[in-house]
């Protein structure tokens, strides 16, 4: 299977590292946004062809699919172009920064008949998979998911500390992870929402702090705190408070409420969430089935984000 990787930033590196571990799959083309960075990325990962034109990348011989890791504002347009070219597509989170654009991707996926998968990594992290399996087996019930998403981004830089050509967003990017995860874990759509945001950054023009509350019909709560002002360890940390135990997920790792590690070997030998995400994309293409995080299946999260956006706009 030949993949066209779109993007040359921090997450493109993560996908390139994961794909090299998947048998029978290769990155045959790279589409970047900046020539020098794209050339260096291609050399680093031994990618035989690179370009700054999406059309040229997709036109390379025998390209089966594309993985989009480019700036969020162009995700939708690029995903639609990939599907229109008759290729399968995986789109890093968020698939779009508006509900309208997310719906356009879904419409093109239905029209093309190709697979469209969202890069909602939290569905694949072994830590969250372990929780998901326990919830589905009825071994415990979620009472409250308490989440902290903390970064220190008072300048326009990415996860590697390099300058960004676009501006990140706490709601459509970072809250998207938790909104989707909460609804995925409860198998319900939020029926009640609360949202507050702090002052906008004078230069970036975005809210640097945000507080979100959600409740699903069964009664489970989610409290999400987000900040670009936090001077300390960065990342997102999930505390699952259940009727039968408390668990804290930090990316691919899981501990109980007393910081005792949970054995995740039952999930499998691979412990990298992004690699597992890419393996699901490849497997769904080979098996001609809908991915666990298909665009269709993450649309409820995009709809909830739109409702939250409306609350913040009041």
Residue 107 CA to residue 168 CA, distance in Å, equals: 26
The CA distances from residue 58 to 19, 89, 219, in Å, are 18, 11, 46
Residues 6+ apart with CB under 8 A from 145: 178, 181, 182, 185, 220, 221, 222, 223, 238, 239, 240, 241
Q: Give the pLDDT confidence of 12-26 residue by residue, as tens digits.
A: 999 999 999 999 999
Supply the Cα-derived Rg of the chain in whole angstroms: 19
Beta bridge partners of 6: 31, 68
Q: Domain map of the chain by residue range? A: 2-120+274-294, 122-269+300-313
Q: What is the pLDDT of residues 152-203, one digit of tens each?
A: 888 777 666 777 777 788 999 999 999 999 999 999 999 999 999 999 998 8
Rounded distance between C-alpha atoms, residue 16 and residue 178, angstroms: 25
pLDDT tens, residue by residue, 75-121: 999 999 999 999 999 999 999 999 999 999 999 999 999 999 999 99
Q: What percent of the chain has pLDDT over 70?
A: 99
Cα 30 to Cα 40: distance, rounded to the nearest angstrom = 11
Res 234: pLDDT:
87
CATH of domain 122-269+300-313: 3.30.360.10
Considering only CA atoms, which of 298, 70, 72, 300 is closest in space to residue 174?
Answer: 72
The Cα–Cα gap between 91 and 164 comes to 19
pTM of this structure: 0.95
Q: In whole angstroms, give the CA distance from residue 20 to residue 27.
A: 8
* Topology given in CATH for the domain delimited by 2-120+274-294: Rossmann fold (3.40.50)
């Amino acid at each position: 299977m030949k993949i066209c990787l779109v993007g040359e930033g921090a997450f493109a590196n993560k996908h390139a590292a994961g794909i090299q571990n998947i048998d029978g799959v290769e990155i045959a083309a790279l589409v970047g946004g900046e020539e020098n960075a794209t050339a260096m990325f291609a050399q680093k990962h031994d990618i035989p062809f690179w370009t700054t034109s999406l059309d040229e990348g997709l036109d390379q011989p025998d390209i089966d699919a594309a993985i989009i890791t480019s700036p969020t504002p162009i995700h939708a347009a690029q995903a639609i172009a990939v599907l229109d070219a008759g290729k399968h597509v995986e789109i890093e989170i968020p698939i779009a920064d508006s509900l309208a654009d997310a719906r356009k991707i879904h419409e093109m996926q239905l029209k093309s008949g190709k697979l469209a998968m969202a890069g909602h990594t939290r569905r694949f992290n072994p830590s969250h998979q372990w929780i998901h399996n326990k919830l589905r087996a009825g071994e415990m019930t979620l009472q409250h998911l308490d989440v902290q998403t903390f970064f220190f981004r008072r300048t326009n830089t990415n996860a590697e500390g390099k300058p960004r050509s676009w501006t990140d967003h706490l709601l459509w990017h970072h809250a998207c992870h938790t909104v989707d995860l909460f609804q995925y874990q409860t198998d319900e759509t939020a029926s009640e929402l609360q949202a507050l945001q702090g002052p906008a950054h004078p230069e970036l023009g975005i809210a640097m702090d945000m507080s979100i509350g959600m409740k699903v019909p069964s009664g489970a709560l989610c409290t999400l705190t987000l900040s670009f002002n936090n001077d300390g360890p960065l990342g997102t940390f999930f505390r699952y408070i259940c009727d039968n135990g408390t668990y804290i997920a930090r990316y691919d790792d899981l501990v109980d409420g007393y910081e005792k590690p949970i054995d995740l070997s039952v999930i499998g030998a691979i412990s990298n969430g992004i690699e597992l995400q890419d393996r699901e994309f490849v497997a769904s293409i080979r098996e001609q089935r809908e991915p666990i995080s298909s665009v269709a299946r993450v649309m409820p999260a995009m709809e909830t984000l739109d409702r939250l956006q409306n609350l913040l706009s009041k």
